[in-house]
Amino acid sequence: GPLLRDLSGQFHIVAPDLPGFGATPAVEGQSHGARAQAERLAEFLNELGIRRFTLLGFSMGGGVAADYASRHADRVDRLILLSAYGVRTVEESDGLKKYKEDRSNGIYFKTAEGFDRVMNVASENPPFLPGPIKEYIAKNIGAPHYSMHKRILEEMVFGDPGLDAVRSRLGRLTMPALILFGNHDRIINPEAAGIFHRGIRGSEMAILSDCGHMVYLDCAAETNRQIEDFLTEHKAASSDQVVRSDSDNEPKKAQP
So what's the pLDDT on residue 3? 75
Confidence at 242, pLDDT banded by 50, 70, 90: low
Q: Are residues 150 and 176 in the same domain?
A: no
So what's the pLDDT on residue 240? 53
So what's the pLDDT on residue 66? 98
Cα-flanking dihedrals φ and ψ of residue 93, to 5°? -65, 160
Given a cut of 90, whether residue 118 has pLDDT beyond it is yes
Choosing from 112, 134, 158, the residue where a domain stops is 158
So what's the pLDDT on residue 237? 59
Q: Are residues 131 and 214 in the same domain?
A: no
Q: Are residues 84 and 11 in the same domain?
A: yes
Question: How many structural domains does the chain have?
Answer: 2
Choosing from 158, 176, 205, the residue where a domain stops is 158
Q: Are residues 167 and 251 in the same domain?
A: yes
Q: Are residues 101 and 167 in the same domain?
A: no
CA dist., res. 255 & res. 34, Å (int)? 25
Given a cut of 90, whether residue 206 has pLDDT beyond it is yes
| Average pLDDT value for the chain | 91
So what's the pLDDT on residue 36? 96
For the segment 160-203, what is each residue's pLDDT rounded down to a tens digit? 899 999 999 999 999 999 999 999 999 999 999 999 999 999 99
H or E segment at 81?
strand 76-82
Q: What Cα–Cα distance (Å) separates residue 127 from each residue in 112, 115, 120, 122, 214?
A: 14, 12, 10, 11, 11
Q: Are residues 48 and 103 in the same domain?
A: no
Of all residues in the chain, the percent with pLDDT exceeding 90 is 79
So what's the pLDDT on residue 39? 96
Q: Are residues 132 and 76 in the same domain?
A: no
Q: Are residues 62 and 134 in the same domain?
A: no
Q: Are residues 208 and 176 in the same domain?
A: yes
H or E segment at 231?
helix 220-233
Q: Are residues 182 and 137 in the same domain?
A: no
By three-state DSSP, how is residue 76 classified?
strand
So what's the pLDDT on residue 5? 75
Q: Are residues 75 and 137 in the same domain?
A: no
Q: What Cα–Cα distance (Å) separates residue 63 from each residue in 55, 128, 221?
A: 11, 29, 24
So what's the pLDDT on residue 251? 39
Choosing from 158, 176, 193, the residue where a domain stops is 158
Q: Are residues 214 and 167 in the same domain?
A: yes
Boundaries of domain holding 147: 94-158
Of all residues in the chain, the percent with pLDDT exceeding 70 is 91
CA dist., res. 116 & res. 70, Å (int)? 36
For the segment 211-223, what is each residue's pLDDT rounded down to a tens digit? 999 999 999 999 9
Indicate the Cα dihedral angle 222, 226, 229, 231, nearest 10°: -130
For the segment 132-147, what is each residue's pLDDT rounded down to a tens digit? 999 999 999 999 999 9
Q: How many CB atoms lie within 10 A of CB 131?
A: 8
For the segment 60-79, what is each residue's pLDDT rounded down to a tens digit? 999 999 999 999 999 999 99
Question: Biggest alpha carbon distance in the chain?
Answer: 48
pLDDT (average), residues 229-234: 92
